[in-house]
Structure 1
Amino acid sequence: MYKQTLSKLALAVILAAGTYTAPVALLDGKAYAQEQQEQKTRRVPTLRGKVYEQLARAQALADEDKVSEAIAVLDEVKSKDHSMNSYELAMMYNFYGFIHYNAEQYDKAIQAFEDVVKQQPIPEAFEMSTLFSLAQLHMMQGNYDKTLAFLERWEKLNQGDIPAKNYLLKAQAMYQNKDYTRALGFINEAIALVEKEDKVPEENWFILQRAIYYELKQPEKVKDVLAKLIKHYNDGKYWVQLGGMYGELGQEKKQLAILESAYQQGYITSGSDVFNLAQLYYYHQVPVKGARLMEQAMKEGVLERNLRNLKFLASCWSLAKENDKAVPVMIAAAEMSEDGELDAQLGQMYLNMEKYDQAIAASQKALEKGQLRNPGLSHLVLGMAYFNKKRFNDALNELAKAEKFDAAKRMAQQWSKYVETEKVSHERLQAELSS
């Protein structure tokens, strides 16, 4: 961007054959008219024919990529600088800058263009375009304070309003310099000037504004800029980012609404974004949508069928009370897991489904694998499952083990009393039936 703009603003020197007295650093008709006006207010010496011919020769060599030869011609001109006027010297240094710039010798180009503006008097438009080019070159080289300094010199010469692009360049420089407060003032001014004319600022202007607000830890403002980016430059990444900002602001319902809308428009494509949306469905008590989203993403290969994703999918179906769908997913996840946590959860699910044999098998496997957060709970499940199969002694043994763990102790004691009572009743009944 800088290179293209620099060429337009400062390096496209028009040398009209046979016109030696007119200003030559012309950018376009408007700039030409401005310089003609300057002739009335700023006395500028003329460019003599013999100097012009040498500069034109250097230009021709440069156009043929004969850089060293072009520099040699300029060096020959420079050897006679004592006899040259300010305009001629400025044009000579301008050509040095032009050649060094095209050769990507930016430090030399900067020095040459700085020598241009040291020559006085020169046409004001020529000086202004060179100052702006210097600001851009210093920006490219990371000299952000100098970028600001040359822009301010340009603004002192400017007769009209300061254009938005100046504020933009200042904002870019201050952002790179980590002076975010000043950068914010400049980018806000740039955007306001464009919007005042009922025009839409360029996309990268909003992106810079968003970045500055983010660095200044102003999430509300970041959200507002993202809303503008969606309005003017409808891109999926802005929908996702806006959803993220609503999440950061604690506005989860709006976050879900934005991301769901993004999904419907086909903007939720990455695995991480799909998983994030599924989590939002889960936490907003819409687990079926989360489960279906996860299943579709795994079917399409957007999400892997790994332990994390299978665990979450099983949780979604379980929360939706779709145990028949949750169980096979949980089994697949448990097979991938080295600890017994998922097997313990399976045991609880089977118990709730009144599948006592499966509950016993899953809970035993959980205890065998170990590394359980609450082993007492698996013993408790075993006790309940054995009780429902009328294996009272086995139930009491497991409940006794459960009592050794604080998290399960109270419930295990209550169940032990209940099992004891039921055991006595069952044995009495059996005795009566057999007599």
Structure 2
Amino acid sequence: MKKLLILTLLLLETGVAFSQIKTENYLKKLSEQHQFVKMDSLNNKIRTKDYYFYKALFANVCNKPDLSNLYLDSLNKSQITKEFRYYKLKNDNYIKLFDYANAFKTSGILTSTFSEKFTKEERDDELNTRRIWEVLKLQKPQIIDSFSNLSVATKKDKAGLITTNVLANTIDTDFVFDTGAGISCITESLAKKLGFIILPDNNIEVMSFTGVKNKVLMGIAPVLNIGDIKIHNAVFLVYPDSAFTFANGKYVINGIIGFPIIKELGTVTIEENSLTFSKNKTIQSNDKNLFIDELRAIVMLNFKGKTLPFNFDSGAKTSSFNKSFYELFKTYLDKNSTLISAKTASAGGQEITSELLELKDQQILLGKNQINVPKLQVDKSDYGVYGKVNYGNIGQDIIGQFKKVTISFDHNYLKLEN
């Protein structure tokens, strides 16, 4: 009888252990697929040994890097603190906190202690990014003076992109407002006029959306104003003037307000001729559908019954769908699409012609809201610069259909209204 009881207990313990391992594997899979809501729900329901790590991960993608670090610190000296994913998350929190010295330090750990976790291309990219943090490591963090609710005027440039006025060194000019820019950008000549501090060359290369590499410098804007919002120590990629000149000089971009600034502006409302920024705004309950993966916004959209992550890029004129999208919906796309040639270009990149699949008059869902996509274009040969896990890039052709677009980095939602 005693032996039977022991055997029963052993079987129960084995079953519990197996269930824990299965749950941990599923949590890891959900995190890798950017299914963050499902991940957090399961993590709260079944508290595995990695519970606080996944709480830290969810806080990170919800734009709460301070809270994420508190969860990571609570792990103390557990096994997970010796793992790649721990340092990867720590590194990303430091980047989001503008703690460049610790971003540089943790990037060094990733590329040395965990070098086997990277492909050669990924390691080269991480080493290149580390050179950014190296040149910034003695710089002060970005700070935005406190505000509650402010609006600024906007207009569309020749490419149909949203621009707004910025002021620095008593000079004002128009910059593109671009959620898809991982770091703000400026031309070298304008950076000097605006009194930016140009840091020493550290052999940094930046990949444009079209896949073209450009060598850049790093610049610091001591004080930059967007309307009445005052930003201190904003970091900019400083490009050669030629990189921001298109169509033989017919279209020129002066600079770009990028994601590290935008994510600190709380709830951003885009209307026809204005941008409104609100901090600590009390809101009605909205489902979380907007997250921050490293330095880019991810929006969850539904196509043909599948809820998937897409890069959210207000600086892209047209939306695009990639090889991951094609692989998932191959049968439908092969049957209903036509082959076209299309040209793409981005800041810092030359124009490139691609062969794309095109579908007319498609619908995608944001929650329960239907969005019409008159021309859905898919590149079936390229995952794009954002990798396999994202399914495409959402731009102005979709965003611009709506009179009011609300992007909340405080409360993690995108809302589209007419």
TM-score (norm 2): 0.28
- Select the structure that is richer in helix: 1
Which protein is richer in strand relative to its size? Answer: 2
Of the two structures, which has the highest relative contact order with CA contacts closer than 8 Å and spacing of 6 or more? 2
TM-score (norm 1): 0.27
